[in-house]
Structure 1
């Protein structure tokens, strides 16, 4: 897959022209740098690439269509991690001095840089991933995981498979097939709490990175256990391997449900009809006819400012990448207005991300109505808890098969507070935002 990735390819031509003409330093300063800790290589490249492309192309479109954000150019760049935690930590150190935000793109990398956030004062943006208790903005002042956390996702899945009656899960057996990494282990504490309260059996089954494409041992165990449902926290080749094995063992696809990172068109296309019926919870909906997507097509793809893979434009992950860059941009806009400045700093962006107001009117104004549920953030709520929808693979694409689903705050909030407090105590001295009374 061809991509145009370097900064030089992403900066509008006016910058090169201005430099050639000896433009004033003030013009060159009217830009903000947004660096992604990307993974276009390694075992998860197939999923990382469309997400990065979507993020890049939204910012490119704004530069081409609007000249940036209120007269400030968006300089999108990437530091390649290969989804490797050590490389991610190196990328963080390399980029923290220039980027106004850190996007770790791995729960492992997020956990690695999280202790540094209070010192370096650079916001961490981890949309729909990372450490679930980061939603507690009083404790994690510099970390954001909108529009929903992994614990939100687990709660929504249970609500959906129980048809809204969690008591109906009593006596049932639920397998959690998960990547044997921090990401895959994220839902376990909440699922265990649900199991204890509602009387079902939770059986976590890990999948190592080297086992992703050959999960015969895991699915042999699943056959023996005969669970009522299999939930999947998979990534990359693990998703394909799991759905392929489920089809081989004739496990009912409508009883097989993944988190939003296990709902990638590219993965499922390699499975095709065999995966029909598989479901994935999602906080985003693909809407190729939306005005924002049509503007990306016009100003970026048709104009040959960047290239993406065949069919990728309609994929859930590409369009989710677009939404993720929107979070950063709307944070920049909020900070510009609040601080009455054009070029916002990392600290000012932190305020902007903490004061997102993405109601229906705002989403419509930016051309994203129908792509995500309205939500807002606050000093004590860094996730937004927007909720989502269940998508189902019809053999060729994902389609929406549920009404809007929200997470169970009564189950999640106490666990968030407990785990956030534990983290702060383990990393003492850890600053708490005592001024946050919301």
Structure 2
């Protein structure tokens, strides 16, 4: 496995893979590998997310001795956000994993059929194939707390002031990474454009164009869309924001999905980015109990890889939340089956029975960081909704209460796409939900 060797050298209680495992942790370990990417054009986005996850696991190992006395092994396998490498990492880490995190929609789509055969749950928080919300069809896949189609619905409702008929006759550009991730919202947006009479203008950005989007922004200047919605990631986000500021595109008409709401990207344009908005199912809260414990036991103790200032950011703290969802799924499984070292099939049940109620969020020390949600046999997303965050020139601030997606618009498309997937991958197993 290609591990992050720096993690092994740090004085942290999070284990690393194989030969680096300390003998004291040889027994009673829960393996939760992370198919991370700290290198390549997406590293600026992937690194703080990986750091947040790793630090949450380290905090639990330091503070609580792990989870119910079982250490958590947060080994990383470097993918560089490359689909082929991601599949290789999945194969290398699946042996003792109780859950896998593909960390890319492209990798998720490749691993999806494998996980059903291997019986290892996929945890893809806020990414992946949106139709994975259908737990009957996608028994082993989970994308809580909100899907890409949830995010697309919220963004469209934001620019339409709550009524999509207000978009009739308008033009909405979708500036998106030319990758499975960037194409994910298109089916829903096309259906809503046809229904409500607005024009959807997809503008793809190739992997080699991310830092030089002059052609895309020339098209935007020529087409004069009423709004630009961004489905960007890594270097693409900074490139788009720089071009928008250079061409003086109105920032209050420029909005992004949660992966296009990264503090570091907006700091590239600073004050010129004021008014840019992003939907987000997470919000940083340094004063939350879990964050204070991470700061004391991990960051201040020199056991974190996080860069100075990273602790305060949306993406670092979103990484914390992703780890918290994963760990909660394991704990629910431990409680259900009366076992400390649960297996992948038991963890699958745990992820299917998450209940992030307001009370539970508070118990976990994550106050104000994530909206409540609940998964079930038939609902593997939970649909927490999200806040609209706005860049004030220096940081992201909440610009709305929690907003919900339009289920009446999304659920029928989920049903169609889930059925299409099952038909295309026959024989595809399904589970019966009560």
Structures share a fold, TM > 0.5? yes
Q: Deviations over 1:143-178 (max 9, x none)?
A: 000000000000010111111121111111000000
Which runs of structure 2 are paired with 1:22-421 in the superposition (5 Å)? 28-421=26-419
Cα distance in 2 between the residues matched to 1:122 and 1:11: 25
Moved beyond 4 Å, runs of 4+: none
- Equivalent position to 1:6, from 8, 24, 45: 8
For structure 2, the 5+ residue unaligned runs are: none
Q: Is 1:10–1:76's contact at 8 Å kept on the other side of the alignment?
A: no
Cα distance in 1 between the residues matched to 2:371 and 2:209: 36
Aligned residues: 427
Deviation at 1:12, TM superposition (A): 6.5
Q: Secondary structure at the match of 1:210?
A: coil
Cα distance in 2 between the residues matched to 1:376 and 1:333: 15
Taking structure 2 as the reference length, the TM-score comes to 0.96
Deviation at 1:3, TM superposition (A): 8.8
For structure 1, the 5+ residue unaligned runs are: none
Deviation at 1:249, TM superposition (A): 1.3
Deviation at 1:306, TM superposition (A): 1.8
Deviation at 1:6, TM superposition (A): 2.5
| Cα 1:59–1:173 shift into 2, 3 Å | same
Q: Which residue of 2 aligns with 1:433?
A: 431
Q: Deviations over 1:129-153 (max 9, x none)?
A: 0000011000000000000000000
| Cα 1:372–1:12 shift into 2, 3 Å | closer
Q: Which residue of 2 aligns with 1:423?
A: 421
Deviation at 1:289, TM superposition (A): 0.9
Deviation at 1:211, TM superposition (A): 0.5
Cα distance in 2 between the residues matched to 1:272 and 1:19: 44
Q: Secondary structure at the match of 1:177?
A: strand
Deviates more, 1:268-277 or 1:202-211: 268-277
Cα distance in 2 between the residues matched to 1:159 and 1:317: 24
| Cα 1:242–1:334 shift into 2, 3 Å | same
Cα distance in 2 between the residues matched to 1:162 and 1:403: 16
Q: Secondary structure at the match of 1:116?
A: helix
| Cα 1:3–1:162 shift into 2, 3 Å | farther
Q: Is 1:286–1:315's contact at 8 Å kept on the other side of the alignment?
A: yes
Cα distance in 2 between the residues matched to 1:205 and 1:7: 44
Q: Is 2:55–2:294's contact at 8 Å kept on the other side of the alignment?
A: yes
Q: Is 2:230–2:255's contact at 8 Å kept on the other side of the alignment?
A: yes
